[in-house]
Amino acid sequence: MNDLVKMSFDKVEVEKPSHIDNESLLRICRNEHFLKSVIDCWNIYDVKGKDYTRGLGDLDRTNNFKQAASFNKISPLQAWGTYFYKHVSAVFRYIGDGHVESEPIAGRIHDMINYSILLLLLVKENRRDQEIKEGTLEPKGQSNRG
């Protein structure tokens, strides 16, 4: 399983929380179920992202929500909630009936994990936009320094 995880984090800086020691981190990475779930989520995120970002790739992973929001005259968060609800609804059907029709329950759960990550991106963008509006943050590419 460890051979599957060969990736570069050149552009990503992630600080390991102080309460997680190296042994714990290795134990998590050796947990085959956890690691497979993370890889499955990544694969779905990567494949579906190509359809939803409309050619923007990693430049704007939340583009689909913004486009749907604009079309429906709602906020991107409301668009996100609409898309997320279909997965929640399917999971609750599975809880009640023991099955779903359109795709395996694991796919729905992986989608919910990915949608939660996308929600974090939307929340971060909202905070940044609010800070720009309040004047506590400069828009990217702009500077008050002459």
Residue 102 is assigned to a structural domain of this protein: yes
**Identity of the residue numbered 37:** S
What's the average model confidence in pLDDT over 41-54?
76
Domain total of the chain: 1
Kindly indicate the confidence band of residue 8, based on its pLDDT and cuts at 50, 70 and 90: very low
Residue 108 is assigned to a structural domain of this protein: yes
Residue 105 is assigned to a structural domain of this protein: yes
Instruction: Give residue 128's domain range.
Output: 2-8+15-134
**Cβ pair 121, 61 in contact under 8 A:** yes
User: How confident is the model at residue 57, as a pLDDT?
Assistant: 59
| Whole-Å CA distances, 11 to 14, 78, 102, 146 | 10, 31, 37, 29
**Cβ pair 61, 55 in contact under 8 A:** no
> How big is the CA angle at 119 (ends 127 and 57), to the nearest 5 degrees?
100
Residue 142 is assigned to a structural domain of this protein: no
Q: Does the structure show a pLDDT above 90 at 90? A: yes
Residue 85 is assigned to a structural domain of this protein: yes
Averaged pLDDT of the chain: 80
Burial bucket for residue 115 (CB in 10 Å: 0-12, 13-18, 19+): buried
Residues 6+ apart with CB under 8 A from 35: 1, 4, 5, 29
Residue 146 is assigned to a structural domain of this protein: no
User: How confident is the model at residue 9, as a pLDDT?
Assistant: 47
83 or 46, higher pLDDT: 83
Residue 145 is assigned to a structural domain of this protein: no
Torsion from C-alpha of 62, 8, 34, 114, nearest 10 degrees: 0
Residue 140 is assigned to a structural domain of this protein: no
